[in-house]
């Protein structure tokens, strides 16, 4: 299973970006999906999550500005980021719990990350 994140870039404060994460491989089903981020010199932190049933949760630092969504038909995960701040600058990683063929066991998978830079 591979998770490929995309959509990062350079944006001015107050701007928007949309990150996407596409899962591929021997996928039977995908459970909870999450976005994390890691700023320079800091530990990786959880940003948002969405369950297989669509329940969403957000870190306080992004609540009201970011929206997480998923498309199970396409095995994709998105993060719409609005009102971006310089402190949102980080490498963003997607994470998913994936059940795979042929053993139907579930494991955590990580994407390689996409850089988001918020600067004027």
Q: How far apart are CA 84 and CA 12, in angstroms?
A: 8
* DSSP 8-state secondary structure symbol assigned to residue 53: T
Query: For 17-64, how does the pLDDT look when each residue is reduced to its tens digit (9 = 90+)?
Result: 999 999 999 999 999 999 999 999 999 999 999 999 999 999 999 999
Q: What is the mean pLDDT of the chain?
A: 96
* 86 φ, ψ (degrees, to nearest 5): -55, -30
**Spatial contact of 100 and 27, defined as CB atoms under 8 Å apart:** yes
Q: What percent of the chain is predicted at pLDDT more than 70?
A: 100
């Amino acid at each position: 299973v591979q998770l490929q994140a995309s959509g990062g870039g350079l944006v001015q404060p107050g701007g928007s970006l949309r990150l996407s994460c596409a899962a591929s491989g021997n996928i039977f089903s995908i459970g909870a999906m999450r976005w994390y981020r890691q700023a320079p010199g800091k530990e990786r932190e959880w940003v948002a999550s969405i369950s297989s049933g669509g329940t969403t949760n957000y870190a306080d630092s992004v609540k009201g500005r970011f929206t997480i969504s998923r498309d199970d038909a396409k095995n994709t995960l998105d993060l719409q980021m609005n009102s971006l701040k310089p402190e949102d600058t980080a490498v963003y990683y997607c994470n998913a719990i994936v059940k795979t063929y042929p053993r139907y066991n579930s494991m955590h998978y990580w994407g390689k990350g996409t850089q988001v830079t918020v600067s004027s």
